[in-house]
Amino acid sequence: MRRQWEPAMRVAEQAGCVVSASRAGQPEEGSWSCSGVILNRSPGLVLCHGGIFTPFLRAGSGVLTEAGATFLPGDSCADDLRLHVQWGPTAASPAGRVERGRPGLCTPQCAGLEPSPPARHRGRPLEPPHPAELLLLLSCPDFRAHFARLFGSGSDTAKQWRFSSAAREEEVSEDEEEDQLRALGWFALLRVRHGLEEEADMRGPAVAVVSPGALPKGTPLLACGSPFGAFCPDVFLNTLSRGVLSNTAGPLLLTDARCLPGTEGGGVFAVRPAGALLALVAAPLCWKAHEWVGLTLLCAAAPLLRAAGEAFRSLRPGTASLAALLPPELGAPWALPLQEPGPPWAAAAVLVECGTVWGSGVVVAPRLVVTCRHVAPREMARVLVRPTTPKSAKIWGHVVFAAQETSPYDIAVVSLEKELEDVLVPMPTEHFHEGEAVSVVGFGVFGQACGPSVTSGILSAVVQVDDTPVMLQTTCAVHGGSSGGPLFSTPSGDLLGIVASNTRDNNTGATYPHLNFSIPITVLQPALQRYSQTGDLGGLRELDQVTEPVRVVWRLQRPLAEAPRSKL
C-alpha cells in the first residue's frame, strides 16, 4: 500500500511551500500566510491562495466579485506588500544533499521571518524564506458559477453554509468572513526572487497537471499543505493527508482528505498518474447548519493555469514568455488515456425520495432497493428512485417493508415498477475484517445536484452479539442524506452494509461525520433473498423481533450487568 503512495508523496513534498504576506516596515500588523505549490523551480513560479492578499488590494475585496473579473495584475496590491516563500530541503539543495539518508532529531524552532537559528524540517535544515513578487491574482469563472449553484448566493441556502479558515467556535468578524468568502475562488501566481548563486537550488522539473475530467470519483488523492500557514514550518510544513476524490462539479471538487486552516492553496495530487497536480485547496473547513461536513473544497488546477496563460499573453509583453513555463496539462484532450472507469459498485447507489424526505439507497436486485426507514417510513408509500446514471432517469416504486420504529434496524425495502438498467448489483459479503479499507457512497450534502459522493475510511469496529455481527462502525465521512446508502469494501467492491447514522453529541450538539454506524448486510441478506425469490415478507418481519442485547447495542447503551442472585 505504501509503495502506491510513495511517488506522489515525493512530488508533493518537493512542490509544497508556504507563502507569507506582510506590510513593509509595519511588523506590528503581523503577517498573513497560506500554503502554496511550486510549479516550476526555474524561474521560481509559485501558485497559492488569494485570500492572504485581500488586506492589500487597492480597490478593496469587492473587486474580486465584480462581474467578469478573471484576473488582476500584480500592481492591484499596495506597494508596501512584502512576500516570502519558504520550502523544504530538496534533493538538489545543499541541505538535502548533506542530510540525505541521515536520521535527525527535529527540535521545533517556530521561527518567523526574523533572524534565528536555521529551522529543521523532519531532521533536515529548511530553506530560508525567499522574497517573491506577485505576478497575478486569478480565478476560475466556472468554479464561481458552480459554487453559486451548489451553495446559493444571498439565500437561505447560502446562510446554512460557512467557509472559513477558522473553526466554528473561533471568533471571526463579519468583515473578515466576507473577505474570505469573496476570495474563496481566487489564487495568486508569484515569482520567487533569487540570485544567480541560488539558481541551482530552484532549478527542477515543473509539476504536471491533470485535468479533473480525467479522474473518476473514488480516485485516491494526496493533499499537501502547511496547517496554520507560516507558524512552526519546521513542524507543520508540507503535512500530508490521504483521501479520495469525493465529488465533482466542473472545476469545483470535493475530497475527504482532512485539511486544516493554513492549508488553503496547498496542492492535491493524484496517485496515478503519480504526483500529477489535480487541484488546490480552496477551503479546508466547510460547515453546514453549524455542523462540520468533513470534506475539503478544492479548485481544479488546470483551468486556473489556462487562465494564467491567457492573462500573461494579454498583459505587458515581458510576461508573455512566462506562459510557456507553466506546467503541462495531462489527460483529455491531450490524450494520455488516464481515466479508468469509476468503481462499478458506486453505480449501485440511488437517490430515494418519499414526499419531501430524501436520502440514499442501494440496489440489491434489479427491481429492489434498500434504504432507511426514516427515509421511507410508511409501507405502500410511493417512492421515487433516481439512479446515478443517467441523472435524468427516474423510476417509481412503493415501500413493501418498513421496520417498526421500535426495531433497532432502521430499514425499508422498495419494490420498483421496472428494472434499473445497466446497474451492477453488488455482491453481498459473508465476512467482515476490521481495519479493511471501505467506502461509503451516498447523496449527502448536495443530493442530486452533482450525484453521489464517495468517502473513504476503514472498518473500525464490527460489533457482535452471540458471535453474530449486528453493527458496523467506520471512519468514512457520513452526512445527512447519506442514510440508506451502501458501505462497500474498497478492494473487492463487496457490499458490507447499509449506512444508518453518523454520531451526534446531545450535550454539545456537535455532529461527528467520521464516526458512523451501518447495518451489516449479513443481517438482511437471507430475508432479502427470501422476498426476492418468493415475495414472502416473513424474513423481513423478523427484523422487528430482535433480541434485547441487539437493541442495547443500537441504543449505544452499556449491557446490563447480571442481576445478583438471592442468597435466601
Q: Spell out the residues 6+ positions from residue 75 whose beta carbon is closer than 8 angstroms to its own.
A: none
Answer whether 353's CB lies under 8 Å from 386's CB: yes
Distances (CA, A) of 499 to 113, 376, 407: 49, 14, 16
Transcribe 52-72 into DSSP letters: GGGGGBTT-GGGGGSTT--EE
Catalytic residue among 483, 489, 494, 514: 483
How many residues can be counted in the chain? 568
SS3 assignment for 337-391:
CCCCCCCHHHHHEEEEEECCEEEEEEEEECCEEEECCCCCCCCCCEEEEEECCCC
Q: Spell out the residues 6+ positions from residue 156 whose beta carbon is closer than 8 angstroms to its own.
A: none
How far apart CA 313 and CA 16 sit, in angstroms, is: 27
Catalytic residue among 410, 439, 482, 494: 410
SS3 assignment for 267-311:
EEEECCCCCCEEEEEEECEEEECCEECCCEEEEEHHHHHHHHHHH
Distances (CA, A) of 502 to 209, 247, 437, 481: 36, 20, 18, 11
Distances (CA, A) of 316 to 46, 64, 310, 313, 565: 20, 22, 12, 8, 91
Q: Is 374 a catalytic residue?
A: yes
Q: Which residue in the block uniquely carries the three cell numbers 430475508? A: 527
Q: Is 536 a catalytic residue?
A: no
How far apart CA 232 and CA 224 sit, in angstroms, is: 16
Answer whether 503's CB lies under 8 Å from 515's CB: yes
Cis amide leading into 491 (omega within 30): no
All cell numbers assigned to 548? 434485547
Q: Which residue in the block uniquely carries the three cell numbers 505504501? A: 2
Q: Is 173 a catalytic residue?
A: no
Q: Which residue in the block uniquely carries the three cell numbers 449479513? A: 522
Catalytic residue among 130, 374, 479, 514: 374
Strand partners, 32: 21
How far apart CA 189 and CA 38 sit, in angstroms, is: 10
In this structure, what are the phi and psi dihedrals at residue 12, rounded to the nearest 5 degrees? -60, -45
In this structure, what are the phi and psi dihedrals at residue 75, rounded to the nearest 5 degrees? -80, 10
Q: List, by residue number, the catalytic residues.
A: 374, 410, 483
